Chains A and B, each alone.
Chain A
Amino acid sequence: MRFTNTLLVALRALRRNKMRSVLTALGIIIGIGAVITIVSMGNGAKARVEAQVAALGQNIITVYPGSFSSGGMRGGFGSSATLTVEDAEAIAAEIEDIDGVSPEVRDRNQVLANGLNWNTSVNGESPDYPYIKNWPIVQGAMFSDQDVKSLAKVCVIGKTVVDQLFPNEDPIGQTLRIRNLPFRVVGVLDVKGFSLFGSDQDDVVIIPYTSHMRRVSRRANISSILVQGASPEKLDVVKQRIEDLLTQRRRGREPDFTVRTQEEIAQTATETSKTMTLLLGGIAVVSLIVGGIGVMNIMLVSVTERTREIGIRLAIGAHGRDVLTQFLIEAVLLSVLGGVLGILCGVGASEFASAYFGMPTLVSPGSIVAAVGFSTAIGVFFGFYPARKAAQLDPIEALRYE
């Protein structure tokens, strides 16, 4: 009952100083609003990255040449190209629980057709590639194992290459020239858009890796091996088996390869957006603390300004504790009020950002709960000192205060 009375007293005191109350809460409103907005933008960005990662294909294990030890780079990531087609064949033949393997050879080349000329990625892959990358062929078909064996001069191309080289005609059956060798277009890949790292994934020509190695790039080694795991649960086991197999094939030489799962690659990608969210979140938290100090400042001014009021209260029988509670409640009410309004502002700003700027946002309930908790804590923390100062006033001195 005494608490209810104090609550009433605090509410009346806040109502008496509406303008000041609102201005005090403003600091918290901005702080909490900023936190909510930034966190939801961060979450939105993360969700988008995750969607892009999912679009890369699922349950993929990639083997890169060069070792990448925990102590840092050793030999350089991808620098010593010692991954061979035999490695890929061994994986395909000996590892269980996999659905497909594609040795990859990557290169950039000038490609000609119709008297047009285009610089693009020319990649050698196996026929499993569209399946592994979850990237359907929308026109024609993927080249076959037979094409791989026979070093066939066939290719499938991405949408950008179609637009550049065959703007007004059906590309299937047409010929494009890579290093002056004619390649017949047998398929067109679905539009995939930009990658996580901002490159145009549709700007690509895919040919059998054998043709690439023998006819185009004349390389003995491959750039990487894509492996499709059969199920997500077995991915780590498969990864281990691949590592064991390749190590065994190296016969005691330094391991010169790195095996990464999709998840690990995705982690690297999400890291960037996480760092960004963390950074901006940090700034928002600083503004929240500034808001809290604002509350403390106003409460301190308020205690001085209301010395007489405190004197009256003490004279007519308020205990020090009553005054303490009153000022604490005032501070907490201000902060919580600010917090609630801040949440509304933050959610509003997030909605606005996604509606008008196409920014992906995702308001998480967790951030709202945290915001409420945090603003209450700010109220208690920054309200306590002024409240205690008020409670310790001497009634006579306070009454005499001008």
Chain B
Amino acid sequence: MTPVVKIEEIHKIYDSGEVPVHAVRGVSLEIVKGEFVALMGASGSGKSTLMNLLGCLDRPTRGRFYLDGIDISQLDKNELADLRNQKLGFVFQGFNLLARTTALENVELPMLYGRHRRMSGSQIRDRAMECLDAVGLGNRADHFPNQLSGGQQQRVAIARALVNHPQVLLADEPTGNLDSKTSVEVMGVFQKLNASGITIVMVTHELDIAHYCKRNLILRDGVVVRDEFVKDRSIAESELGKLRAAEAAAKLTAAPAA
């Protein structure tokens, strides 16, 4: 089986500043369909840089990158944009939803670009609703981002990333702005999506969050220093169950005192 993502000795050097920054120094990696990878490392270790490369938002200074077997160094700007539109889904740390735009319209956005232009208005709407349902927000379609909680906004962002049936879902610190319970909920959504066959690569610097993934990669100074499969990974469903039970208990014990 061809790997969905295959990178060979990839380097990224930023030379916009006074001194060139060698942010990624020769990373090789293969990710096959159905994997759920956490990219970890300290701040400044090159995680976001690597994600931008994987997401075809940026080009490597050196090295090769095949996405779904396609050598991306051969593609021009617009072809890269189409690739991002068709094969990749993005979830950002800051949600990056369009303000004053309903959840549904935010989710419709990727379908307004790229090859999906052949879809009719109602088809676009239906598909967006389907994805909102998949992340459990079907009843919030008409809400604006400022009417949604952080976790809900992130789920809208995930729905948006899913609409075009991507090969890979890329998420840069998707739980970075969320509290621990909401983080677990978002990880639950990821696990469900992964179980349905979607490949996910996400960045996190939280060990417990990484433990919900199937494979952990650790980056230090632009090189992968560890690559291992997670044993006994956490299951969001049961963790949430435990959390809820604990909350209920806290309320029970707190109630008489109040």
Contact = CB atoms under 8 A, between A and B. Distances in A.
Contact of B117 (A5, A308, A399): A5
Task: Give the residue among B81, B85, B96 with the most A Cβ atoms within 10 A.
Answer: B81
A2 B117 contact: yes
Interface string B222-252: 0000000000000000000000000000000
Given A396-B52, A396-B58, A318 B96 contact: no
Interface stretch (A57-65, A309-317, A359-367): A309-317
Q: Is the interface of A mostly helix, strand, loop or mixed?
A: helix
B99 A16 contact: yes
B147 interface: no
Interface of B is mostly: helix
Contact of A317 (B84, B92, B98): B84
Nearest to A400: B48
B34 interface: no
Interface residues of B, number: 28
Contacts of B99: 16, 309
Given A12-B105, A395-B57, A316 B117 contact: no
Contacts of B100: 16-17
A320 B78 CA distance: 8
A316 B57 contact: no
Contacts of B90: 315-316
Nearest to B144: A16
B84 A316 contact: yes
Interface string B40-57: 000000000000100101
Interface residues of A, number: 26
A319 B81 CA distance: 6
A369 interface: no
Interface of B: 52, 55, 57-58, 77-78, 81-82, 84-86, 90, 92, 96, 98-101, 105, 109-110, 112-114, 117-118, 160, 164
17 contacts: A5-B113, A5-B117, A6-B112, A16-B98, A16-B100, A311-B96, A312-B96, A316-B110, A317-B81, A317-B86, A317-B113, A319-B81, A319-B113, A321-B78, A396-B52, A399-B57, A399-B96
Interface of A: 1-2, 5-6, 8-9, 12, 16-17, 308-309, 311-322, 395-396, 399
